[in-house]
Amino acid sequence: MKHETENNKHEEHGEHDEHHDHHKMMVEDFKKRFIFSLILMVPILVLSPMIQMFIGINLRFSGDSYLLFALSTILYFYGGKPFLKGAIGELKKKSPAMMTLIAMAISVAYIYSSLTVFVLKGNDFFWELATLIVIMLLGHWIEMRSVMGASKALDELVKLMPEIAHKITENGDTEDVPVKNLETDDKVLIKPGEKIPIDGTVFEGNSSVNESMITGESVPVDKGENDGIIGGSINGEGILKFKVTKVGDETFLSQVIKLVRDAQASKSNTQRLADRAAKWLFYIASISGLLTFTVWTILGKGLDFSIERAVTVIIISCPHALGLAIPLVTAVSTSIGAKKGLLIRNRTAFENARKINTIVFDKTGTLTKGEFGITDIQEVSVSKEELLKLAYSVELNSEHPIAKGIVNEGNKKNLKSLEVKDYQNITGKGLKAIVDDKNIMVVSPGYMESEKIEFDETDYEKLSQQGKTVVFVLQDSKLLGYIALSDIVREEAKEAIKTLKEMNVASIMLTGDNKRVAAYIGEKVGMDKVIAEILPAEKAKKISELQAEGRFVGMTGDGINDAPSLAAADLGIAIGAGTDVAIETADVILVRSNPNDVVNILKLSKATYRKMIQNLAWATGYNVIALPLAAGVLYNQGIVISPALGAVLMSLSTIIVAINARLIKIV
């Protein structure tokens, strides 16, 4: 079973690496095909009788049509291959879209033009075939270059686990073994600062464990005998010995991997705007072409004429501008996003962000900085300055997150450390040292209660209700004062929530942290709703419940525990300072870790959508006039659209969409 699990992990690794490499190869492939097709297009245009007539030159020679056919055949099969393959895929799914429309247009142009060389009388469309393939390849290359590669979330999750564990042998010695070789009930040693390699239960030792990236709990959790520990969390300053309780697919991290995989697989396969437009154009082109051919055949105009009119209608229905209408907007919006610190990974999810009416925020590291800062200093028998200086001097020796909060405050105030001797860490209770020949302790509320040292319990309870962590400073068991700390709220968070409310977007906090901390932070930033003490599996479930209510949900987070919900949300937004797992699972990354950028995503998505609609209107709008004329509606009045006029109209619409795409602005 264990070997099978390992094999599955390696298979998953391979699949995701292969998917990521495949994306790079596709970008490179489109680039090569575009450059080759562009070079080939030049002689095709020069040899085309239609182009020669249009620019008033004559370069005709014996056999030129056969050379034109040969060059166009190479271009059709080499340059058109991605579209022909894509069309087959779309038709297998019974969902014709952009690839099917392009494939139909180039195939009709190629087949008809080939027939004019060998069988039919009429003008060839080889020049149309060449320009269409080149512009469509350019559009797809631009778009693929402007977005990042495939998600490697599962790879990143696997990387989180250490590969080696300190296994305790039967005689009490330790030996380093691969984590994959550990079995249930094996005993393992964890040294200070090490990452816990696998799930287990402590049987000896005391320490504090940082589980924030796993569970969302901002305060390190004290661990002692019989306490459970999670693989991937980070040990504090103590030494722990534990028994392995779960291996393989049963471990916490394996369960998170399964949740991410399931969420990614079930994420709705929304069609992009360009595909929806192409789908309708495909049907319009097919029906119009067939109708044109049928009507002119019935009217007795002859096979050559009927086919030429039908072919002209089908080719005109796939305007060149459509190939650039969306990719140019995509490239410009991606560039604007990058300048504002928004890295767009999933274009479909980003384009649909305009529909979002609910943003769900993780707390730790997203609305807060994920680091402790001092909020209150309450002196009892010394001044505030003296109290902070004593705590600062002792905590300088500790790596605990609370210690770092006190040290950071001391550094801001440019405090100078007092002389410290005999520093000791009392695991789970605090620190003690001799500071300037005084016995100083910085301890937890638990120590105060166990030693029955009196303090203002009303004030302590008030601070505790606000989700703050309180440490007490003692001298020879006499209380000098106490310091309250909490996870620092990002100032930008308040502004972001306020703006979202003005946009009629609901804001919900979803956190693994305790209810008191969550309620305090939620009230401080102005959240509409707070849901606390939620496990990763429950987070993804809550997202699904919100979606079931008809909400279009964006999820913002930074931790491993957020990965399943980021994958499940309609738009997953990762804070750039977060874990690789969250970043790789998300659709958009906020490089600056600024919650205000969530607002910018929604605004950019709406602006992008507006430009796409405008460009599609420009790209296809001329069809309203060109299609009936190409079909020959006014033929008896002597008005019929010539391929040359069609080319001018296409060029004009292409220029318009290119200029329009550059005008995207975030309002």
DSSP code per residue over 558-581: -SGGGHHHHHHSSEEEEETTS-HH
Q: 362 catalytic, yes or no?
A: yes
Where in 410-468 does DSSP place strands (E)? 420-426, 430-435, 438-443
Domains 162-252 and 342-368+491-604 fall in the same CATH topology: no
Question: Which of the four pLDDT bands, split at 50, 70 and 90, describes residue 64?
Answer: very high
Q: What percent of the chain has pLDDT over 90?
A: 36
Classify domain 370-489 by CATH architecture.
Answer: 3-Layer(aba) Sandwich (3.40)
Average pLDDT in the 382-404 region? 89
**Cα 80 vs. chain centroid, distance in angstroms?**
31
How far from chain centre, in Å, is Cα 289? 42
d(CA 350, CA 150) in angstroms, rounded, equals 15
- CATH for 162-252 is 2.70.150.10
Q: Which residues pair with 515 in a beta bridge?
A: none
Q: What is the mean pLDDT of residues 184-213?
A: 88
Domain boundaries, the chain: 2-146+267-335+606-661, 162-252, 342-368+491-604, 370-489
The tens digit of pLDDT for each residue in 456-514 reads 999 999 888 887 889 999 999 899 999 999 888 888 899 999 999 999 999 999 987 77
What is the pLDDT averaged over residues 395-400? 83
- Give the residue carrying structure tokens 């005993």: 187
Question: In angstroms, rounded to a whole number, what is the distance separating the alpha carbons of residues 125 and 116?
Answer: 9
Residues 49-58: pLDDT tens digits? Answer: 988 887 888 9
- Given 199, 362, 558, 587, the catalytic residue: 362
Structure tokens at 416: 């100078």
β-pair partners for 478 = 475
The band of 76, judged by pLDDT with boundaries at 50, 70 and 90, is very high
Q: What is the pLDDT of residue 631?
A: 77
Residue 540 near residue 564, CB atoms below 8 Å = yes
Among candidates 577, 463, 446, 447, which has minimal Cα distance to 517?
463
Quickly count: other Cβ atoms within 10 Å of residue 173's Cβ: 8
Where residue 353 falls (left for φ over 0; alpha for ψ -120 to 50; beta otherwise) is: alpha
What is the phi/psi pair of residue 188, to 5°?
Answer: -130, 145
Residue identified by tokens 């203002």 is 456
Query: What strands, in cross-sheet order, belong to the sheet with 187-190?
Result: 174-178, 164-168, 187-190, 240-244, 200-204, 228-229
Give me the percent of the chain exceeding a pLDDT of 70. 87
Q: How confident is the model at residue 188 (pLDDT cuts 50, 70, 90)?
A: very high
Average pLDDT, integer, range 644-664 = 76
How much is the pLDDT for 294? 93
Band of pLDDT at residue 385, cut at 50, 70 and 90 = very high
For 123-145, write each residue's pLDDT tens digit.
Answer: 888 988 998 899 889 888 887 77
pLDDT above 50 for 525: yes
pTM over 0.85: no
Nearest-CA neighbor of 357 among 215, 505, 487, 213?
505
- Top pLDDT among 277 and 69 is at 69
pLDDT for position 1:
38
One-letter amino acid identity for 600? N
CATH for 342-368+491-604, among 3.40.50.1360, 3.30.1360.40, 3.40.50.1000, 3.90.1860.10?
3.40.50.1000
